[in-house]
Amino acid sequence: MKLIAHRGNLNGPNPTRENSIDYIEEAISEGFDVEIDLRHKDQRFYLGHDEPQYHAPMTWLVKWKDNLWIHCKELESLDKISNSPIDFNYFWHQEDDFTLTSKKYIWTYPGKSYTSNSVIVMPEINLDINSFSKLRTYECFGVCSDYLNKI
C-alpha cells in the first residue's frame, strides 16, 4: 500500500511547516510519498494551500516527481503541469467524490467508497486514529493522511 503524507505531515497537521520544501523532503527521506499543493504565479511554481508560500523550482519538482502527488490548486498550475513534457502525477479537485489523477489513480474524497485503484484521502476524518493500523488491511492502492506514522 502506498502511503502519502498530506502536505508532508506524518504525525498530525503542522501548519507552520506544511508544504515547505524541507518538510516534504523529510517525509520522502522516511520512505513516504507526499501530496503537495501547487500554485503558479508570475511564471513560477509555489507550494501553499491557500496562497503561494514557498517557491518550488521546476528542477525540484522534477527531482522528486516520482514521490509527489501534485494537487494543482488553480487553473494556471493545472495548465502548466498538464502541458509539461515531464510525466508528473497531478490532479485537481474541489469536493468531488472521486478525481482521476494523471497516472489514473482514483483520488477518493474522505468517507467515500473505494476500489483497489483508489487512494483513500484523510481517513482520520471518519476513523478513530487509534484504529489506523487496520488501514493496512484495506484493499486500496494507497492512503493520504496527516497521520501516517499511526498506520
Collapsing DSSP states into helix, strand and coil, what is residue 8?
A: coil
SS3 98: strand
Rg (CA), the chain: 15
pLDDT score, position 132: 67
Q: Which long-range contacts (CB under 8 A, 24 or more apart) does 76-81 make?
A: 76/39, 76/40, 76/41, 77/38, 77/39, 77/40, 77/45, 79/40, 80/40, 80/45, 81/38
CA atoms within a 13 Å half-sphere pointing along the CA-CB vector of 50: 2
Say whether pLDDT at 135 is over 90.
no
What gap in Å lies between CA 19 and CA 8, rounded to an integer? 6
With 90 as the cut, is the pLDDT of residue 126 above it? no
Task: Return the residue matching grid coordinates 509539461.
Answer: 84
Q: Does the pLDDT at position 145 exceed 90?
A: yes
Alpha-helical regions (H) of the chain: 21-29, 58-63, 75-82
Question: Which pLDDT band holds residue 121 (cuts at 50, 70, 90)?
Answer: very high
Quickly tell me which residue has 481517513 as its cell.
123
